[in-house]
Amino acid sequence: MTAMLSEQDKVALKLYCKTCDEILEARFVKDIPKQDHTIWSKMLPDGTYEGGVPVYDRDDFRSFMAVFRKLWLTNEPTNVYRILKILSRFSPDEEQRQLKIIRRNLQSMEKHGIAFDLGNEQAKNLYSPRDVCDVVLNADLFHSDLDKQRAFEKLQSFGSFFEVSLIKYVTAFCRQAIQVSEVVKHRRYFD
């Protein structure tokens, strides 16, 4: 089976698994299950409100996102869809079914979930979880894309609702990506 893989494919698969291992070792990933992700508010007897929102370590999140983007960005050799395409050419039927489910899960996560309306009274402008991730990567964390700055400012106006939604998306995305990595390791595609 692996004899059909090109050397370039083997390198990409090896890098992909290494990237997934880095995700698993990220402090953000290790700490996120321990955190409360609840957004809450309650009215006090005096009529005022009290509330709470999750607080995430920005440095840990930024470090995590530096690795995450290797799986997510379309031009990366370790992009999860690129890896799925390689595997689709060489995997046996049982694996093909498993990989198709993962692909459908990823596509569903990208299109569905909480959409943020960044439009105005005249026109809606809905941002999917994938769109939100694109804005955060390109306007806040790693670049200063001027075209995305306005969208990022609007997203920030949603406060913790936006942050919790983004974190839910990127962690679910990574869980799917890690399943692909487990297939690659199990089959020993790059040995």
**Per-residue pLDDT tens digits for 10-67:** 999 999 999 999 999 999 999 888 887 777 788 889 988 888 777 788 889 889 999 9
Whole-prediction pTM: 0.84
- In contact, 17 and 185? CB cutoff 8 Å: yes
- Domain coverage including residue 6: 2-187
Q: Is the dihedral of CA 26, 30, 35, 37 positive or negative?
A: positive
Per-residue b or e along 70-106, where b marks 16 or more CB atoms closer than 10 Å to that residue's CB: bbbeeebbbbbebbbebbeebbeeeeeebbeebbeeb
Phi and psi of 127, rounded to 5°? -110, 120
Cα separation, 45 vs 48, in Å, equals: 7
The tens digit of pLDDT for each residue in 69-107 reads 999 999 999 999 999 999 998 888 889 999 999 999 999
Tens digit of each residue's pLDDT (9 = 90 or more) over 116-168: 888 778 878 888 888 999 999 988 877 777 888 888 998 988 877 888 888 88
Number of domains in the chain: 1
